[in-house]
Amino acid sequence: MSKNDRMQMMAELPVHQVLIRMSLPMMISFFIQAMYNIVDSMFVARISENALTAVSLAFPMQQIVTAIAVGTATGVSAVWSRYMGMGKREEASAVIRTMTGMSLGFTAIFILLGVFVSKPLYRVQTNVEEIAVMGTTYLTINWVLSCGSIFSKYYERLLVSAGRATLSMLSMAAGAVINLIFDPLLIFGLGPFPELGIAGAAYATVAGQIFSAILAIILNWKYNEPVRHEMLKPAFQTKAAGDILRVGLPSMITMGLSSMISFMINQILLMFSTTATAVYGVWMKLQNFCYMPIFGLNNGMVPILSYNYGIGKKDRVKLTMKEAILFSAALMCFLMILFELIPGAILTMFSAGAQMRAIGMVCLRLCVISLPFAAVAMLLSTSMQALDHARFSLVINLMRQCVLLIGSFALLAYLTQSQKWIWLAVPITEIITFVVALVLHRKFRKDLEM
C-alpha cells in the first residue's frame, strides 16, 4: 500500500474497518508486551517474595522512562500526521529530526539516573537489605540501558502513523519474544547461560527493548518513505519541539506524576506490610494487561482523528470516537467479570503464599471494578489530546493517575487502618474521573462544533 493509499484509507474507509486495521496489530503487540511483563514477575516471584517486592518497587521508576517515551511519541504521531494531512512536508520532516535529537537527550539523562540515583531511591523506601540490594540492581540496569525502550516507542509509533501498524506489531512482538526467551535462561542459569537472578530479569527486559528498537528503525527505513531520510538526523528545532510537547507533554507529565504517586502508594502500603506492596505490584501488572487493548486503540485512533480533523472531516472524527468507546467499554466489562471469577488462580501464577493470597483476593476483586470506567476516560482523554484540547486531557489524567488516587489511598488508610478496604481507592478514583471526563468531553465537542 502506497503512502497516498494509506492516507486515503484513514479518510475514506468505513471507520470500524480503519480502526481495526490501525489498532488491531497494536493491540496484539501490546498484549504480548503485557504478557511478558506478567511472565517476568512470575519468574521473579519464583526467586522469592522479596524479589517480587523489589521489582514492584522498581515499577514506578521504570514507568518514568515509559512516560517520557510515550508522551513524546504521542506528540510526534499527532503532529506528524496533521502536517502530512495538510501537505506540510517540511514541517513534518522537522518533527522527525527533532524527535531523534530529543530521544538521545533523554537516554543520556537516564544513564545518569541509573548510576547515581537508583541506590538512594531504594534506601529511602525500605530497610530490608535483600529487597534494597536486588531492587537497586534491577532498576540500575533498566535505567542505564533505557535507550531500547525510548527508541522503540518512537519508531514504532511512526510506523503506526504511516499506516504500517502491522509492522509496528512485528517490532513490538519480536522484542517481547526475546524477553520471554531470555527471562528463564538468565534468571535461573539454564544451559550455557549464567544464573543472574534478578539481574537476569533486568537484562532480559532491556535486551527485548533494544532488539525491538533496532527492528523498528530498520522497518521505518525500508517501508516508511516520508521519514527515511530524516529519522537518523538528530536535531533540535524549537518550533517542532514545541509542537511535539504541546500535544505530548500532558501525557508525559501525568504518566510521570503517576509514577511518583505509585511510589507514594508503595510507601503507604509498606506501613502495613511488604506483602501488600507485592500484591499492589501484581495488580499494576494485571491492570496494564487489561489496558493494553485500550492503549492499542489509542495508538490507532490518534492518527485517524488528527488526519481527518486536518482535512475537515468532523463526522469521521465523531464516529471514530464513538466506535472506539463502545468497543473498549464492552471489552473491559468482560474482563472485569472474568477477573472477579478467578482471582485465586491469578495469584497462584505468582507463587502467592497464604498471606499474599489473603490480601490479593480482596485487592483484585475490588480493583477490577474500575476497568470499564477507566477505559472510557482514557479514550476521551486521548481524543481531546489529539484534537488540540490537551488541557482537558491534562485535567483528566491528573485526576485519574495522581490527585484522586493518592488522596483516596491516604484517606482510606487513615480512616480504616485496614489492608482490606484500602483497595477501594482504585474504583473510587476511576468512577469520579469518568464523570469528569464526560463533562469535559461535552465542552470539547462544543468547542469543535461537533
- 63-113 pLDDT tens trace: 899 889 988 888 888 888 778 878 888 888 888 899 889 999 999 999 999
Tell me the helices (H) and strands (E) count for the chain, helix number first. Answer: 18, 0
- pLDDT band (50, 70, 90) for residue 12: low
**Cβ(152)–Cβ(70) below 8 Å:** no
Question: pTM, whole model, 2 decimals?
Answer: 0.77
Q: Does residue 413 carry a pLDDT above 90?
A: yes
Q: What is the mean pLDDT of the chain?
A: 86
Q: Where are the domains of the chain?
A: 3-447
CB count within 10 Å of CB 418 equals: 12
pLDDT above 60: residue 2: no
Instruction: Please determine, for residue 314, whether its predicted confidence score (pLDDT) is greater than 80.
Output: no
Q: Is the pLDDT of residue 3 over 60?
A: no
CB 441 within 8 A of CB 434: no
Share of the chain residues as helix, strand and coil, in percent rounded to the nearest 5 = 85, 0, 15
Residues 427, 424: Cα–Cα separation, whole Å: 6
| Torsion 362-363-368-373 (CA) sign | positive
Q: What is the pLDDT of residues 428-442, one digit of tens each?
A: 999 999 999 999 888
Distance CA 85, CA 303 (A): 10
- How many CA atoms does the CB half-sphere of 19 hold within 13 Å? 23
CA dist 204 and 175 (Å) reads 10
pLDDT in tens, 127-178: 889 999 999 999 999 999 999 999 998 888 888 777 787 788 888 888 888 9
pLDDT of residue 228: 79
pLDDT single digits (tens) 118-127: 999 998 888 8
Longest CA–CA separation in the chain, Å: 64
C-alpha cell, 438: 464526560
Cell 480533523 locates to 309
